[in-house]
C-alpha cells in the first residue's frame, strides 16, 4: 500500500498502541517503497479515537498547578492529547491533500515525505509523554480533554491552503509560544525529566511550523497570491477569534514565519 492509504490507516486506528503502530508503519513503508498511494475519495471527518479520554468543552478542562505531581501529570496529559491529535493532523494532511492538484507533480513526493516525517515525530512525542505519564502513575485517557484542535482543523477540510494556514501556521505555531513558559515553570519545580521531553518537542515543532510555512508560501506563489495577505484572508475566514499574543518571535522567525503573517491578526 502507498502513503495515502497508510495515512488513512493511522486515522482509522483508535487505541494509542494501534495509532502509534500505524504511524510507524507509514514511515517505514515510505522509507522502503516511496509509494505515494491512491487518492482517497471518502475521507472521514473524524479520526478514530480511544474510548478515553472523554472529550468535553474547553471550559471544562481544569487548569493545572505545577507545584504538585497531580498538576504536572495533568499538564503532561494535556500535551499528550495535543500530540495524539497532531499524529492525526499529519496523517490527514497526507491522506486528504496528498493528491491535491496544486502540488506540482515533481514535488509530490517531497510533500508526502515531509508530512510523514512530521507524523512520525508526533508519534514519538506522544510516546515520550506516555512513558513520562506512567512515571506519574497515569496514562493517556485518565483525564478529560477537549477537541478544539481537531475541530479547528476540520473547518478547513475542503481547502488545502486554509489547512496549511491553520494547522501548522496557527495551531502548531501557538505551541511555540506557550511551550517555553511550561518549560520554565517545570524547571522551577525541578521536574527535569518532563523539561527534557518538552525541549525535544519544542525544537522539533519549529521544524513542523517551517514545513507548513514553506508549503503555504509555495502554494501562494503557484496561485499568484501575496502570501501574507492571503494568509490573513484565510485565517479570518477559517479561524474563529484572533491570534493570541505574546508571540515567540524568535522561534516563529526560525520557522520562517515572518511577523507580517501573524502580527496584524493579533
Partnered with residue 55 across adjacent β-strands are 145
Rounded least distance, CB 114 to Fe ion, Å: 12
d(CA 86, CA 77): 14
Closest residue to Fe ion: CB criterion: 208
Rounded least distance, CB 49 to Fe ion, Å: 17
Distance of CA 205 to the CA centre of its chain: 8
d(CA 213, CA 8): 24
Residue 31's SS3 state is helix
Provide the grid cell at 82: 495535543
Rounded least distance, CB 101 to Fe ion, Å: 26
Question: Rule CB under 5 A: which residues touch Fe ion?
Answer: 83, 86, 122, 125, 172, 205, 208
Rounded least distance, CB 212 to Fe ion, Å: 9
Rounded least distance, CB 89 to Fe ion, Å: 8
Nearest 5°: CA angle at 137, between 184 and 147? 65
* Residue placing its CB nearer to Fe ion in the complex, 69 or 254: 254
d(CA 96, CA 40): 7
* Residue placing its CB nearer to Fe ion in the complex, 206 or 243: 206
* Residue placing its CB nearer to Fe ion in the complex, 48 or 127: 127
* Residue placing its CB nearer to Fe ion in the complex, 114 or 205: 205
* Residue placing its CB nearer to Fe ion in the complex, 172 or 177: 172
Amino acid at each position: 500500500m502507498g502513503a495515502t492509504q497508510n495515512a488513512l490507516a493511522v486515522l482509522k486506528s483508535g487505541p494509542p498502541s494501534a495509532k502509534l503502530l500505524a504511524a510507524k508503519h507509514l514511515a517505514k513503508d515510505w522509507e522502503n517503497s516511496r509509494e505515494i498511494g491512491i487518492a482517497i475519495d471518502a475521507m472521514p471527518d473524524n479520526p478514530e479515537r480511544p474510548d478515553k479520554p472523554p472529550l468535553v468543552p474547553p471550559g471544562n478542562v481544569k487548569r493545572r498547578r505545577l507545584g504538585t505531581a497531580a498538576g504536572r501529570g495533568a499538564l503532561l496529559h494535556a500535551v499528550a492529547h495535543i500530540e495524539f491529535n497532531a499524529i492525526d493532523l499529519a496523517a490527514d494532511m497526507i491522506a486528504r491533500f496528498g493528491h491535491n492538484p496544486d502540488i506540482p507533480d515533481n514535488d509530490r513526493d517531497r510533500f508526502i515525505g515531509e508530512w510523514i516525517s512530521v507524523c512520525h515525530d508526533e508519534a514519538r512525542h506522544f510516546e515520550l509523554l506516555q512513558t513520562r505519564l506512567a512515571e506519574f502513575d497515569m496514562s493517556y485517557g485518565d483525564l478529560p480533554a477537549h477537541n478544539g484542535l481537531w475541530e479547528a482543523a476540520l473547518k478547513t477540510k475542503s481547502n488545502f491552503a486554509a489547512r496549511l494556514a491553520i494547522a501548522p501556521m496557527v495551531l502548531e505555531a501557538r505551541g511555540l509560544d506557550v511551550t517555553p513558559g511550561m518549560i520554565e515553570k517545570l524547571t522551577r519545580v525541578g521536574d527535569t525529566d518532563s523539561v527534557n521531553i518538552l525541549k525535544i518537542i519544542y525544537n522539533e515543532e519549529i521544524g513542523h511550523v517551517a514545513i507548513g510555512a514553506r508549503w503555504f508560501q509555495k502554494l501562494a506563489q503557484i496561485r499568484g497570491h501575496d502570501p501574507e495577505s492571503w494568509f490573513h484572508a484565510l485565517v479570518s475566514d477559517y479561524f474563529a477569534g484572533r491570534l493570541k499574543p505574546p508571540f515567540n518571535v524568535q522561534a516563529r522567525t526560525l520557522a520562517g514565519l515572518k511577523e507580517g503573517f501573524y502580527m496584524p491578526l493579533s
